[in-house]
Amino acid sequence: MSLRAYIVVLCLVALPCVLFFDYVLPRHDVVRIVNTEVKRVDPRGGSVGDQREPGADVYYIYAEDIETKKPHVYRNEDTGWGFPFYFKFNSADVQAVASSIASEKGVALITKYGWRLTVFSMFPNVTSVRRWDPADAVIPWFNIVFFSLIGSAALYVAIRIRRRRSA
């Protein structure tokens, strides 16, 4: 196989992996929380009054960027035992912290995963909220360790393949 074919195959494999990890892995935002809200959402997409079983309460956190004042909207719901495996069962507690910070118009460090896609009304999901102290440094330890392990595994496989070809 030619080098060009290897590059095409690598791109076709790497792009979905990069998009998957970008969606699933945690990221941090330092924002000013301005409001919180609870909405009743129908899981099937219809209005809440038309269904026989009750809808779910979904928490939302409204914030703005400290410097640019750009608005951010976050969804705050439990992941439970499902994918992605954050095993988050404390959305009410996270919402209480966010509401407390919002009442002070305080600055918070929000840990989230997911994308904001306005066309599909998709919001990133919050996994934790805490008051922001400017002396704190945000270091994404999980992502560093995760990508170090992935890089090490890829390097190991590449070395094994190269040794096998030269033998």
For 33-87, write each residue's pLDDT tens digit. Answer: 999 999 887 766 554 444 445 677 889 999 999 999 999 999 998 888 888 888 8
pLDDT reading at 111 higher than 60? yes
In this structure, what token pair is assigned to residue 149?
């392990």
- DSSP state, residue 105: T
Closest CA to 57 of 37, 75, 41, 71: 41
Give, rounded to a whole angstrom, the gap between the first and last alpha carbons of the chain.
19
